[in-house]
Amino acid sequence: MKTGIYPGSFDPITLGHLDIIKRAACVVDKLIIGVLNNSAKKSLFTPEERVAIIRKTTSDIPNVEVESFNGLLVDFADQKQAHIIVRGLRAISDFEYELQIAQTNRKVNPKVDTMFFTTSEEYSYISSSIVKEYAMYGGDVSQFVTPYVETCLKAKIKENR
Ligand code: COA
């Protein structure tokens, strides 16, 4: 049983993330989306909200599970008996940071390896921050997120005003 973990903040999940999830779910038996509960990074949605949004967004992919985690990624991987960490590479600028994380994680836990997926071209410029900023100024984000995520974004922004 090959279990992979796709970690990230997912604040909120975008079509770029979904693209990686669909492709990664085809190469592992089980893909766990690990939502980082990171108090250092100011987020729009709570970890519980992000988990619920991702569950709904990925409900048609049978081998995907969603959970939040605290602490080190390699510890979460151990806990879940996962040996593969999935990450997406959008541009060359992602590479240095991702290489550093992957190498550190492998040093700390040699049983865990990182598998990179190159983001599909149409999503190579998307980030959750850009989507949030666009939505906050009333921009149309339908090209970047699913209709459900768009509804959640609009509701959250309204709630915060
Ligand atoms: N499509 C869309 N956006 C993407 C993307 C894709 N395919 N790939 C990356 N991004 C964007 C995200 O939207 C996010 O945007 P934002 O900064 O505007 O929110 C940004 O890239 C960062 O990506 P994310 O995947 O959320 O990473 P992160 O930097 O917040 O966290 C972890 C990376 C979770 C892997 C890392 O912080 C971690 O492992 N933390 C746990 C603690 C730990 O083990 N630390 C030791 C590491 S050596």
| Residue-wise pLDDT tens digits, 26-63 | 999 999 999 999 878 889 999 999 999 999 999 999 99
The reply to whether 83 belongs to the active site is no
Average pLDDT (111-119) is 96
Mean pLDDT of the chain: 96
- In this predicted structure, what is the pLDDT of residue 100? 97
**Does residue 93 surpass a pLDDT of 90?**
no
Residue 90 annotated among the catalytic residues of the structure = yes
Residue owning the nearest CA to atom 31 of ligand 1: 8
Distance 159 CA to ligand 1 centre (A): 26
**Token reading at 124:** 């190579």
| Closest ligand 1 atom to 9 CA | 26
pLDDT level of residue 109 (50, 70, 90 thresholds): very high
- Residue with CA closest to ligand 1 atom 44: 72
Task: Tell me the H-state helices in 91-161.
Answer: 92-108, 128-136, 147-160
Ligand 1 atom 37 nearest Cα: 8
pLDDT over 90 at 91, yes or no: no
Distance 128 CA to ligand 1 centre (A): 10
pLDDT at position 74 = 96
Calpha distance 138→135 (Å, rounded) = 5
pLDDT band at residue 120 using 50, 70 and 90 as cut-offs: very high
pLDDT value at residue 52: 98
| Ligand 1: centre distance to CA 1 (Å) | 26
41 a catalytic residue: yes
Strand ranges (E), the chain: 3-8, 30-36, 64-69, 84-89, 113-118
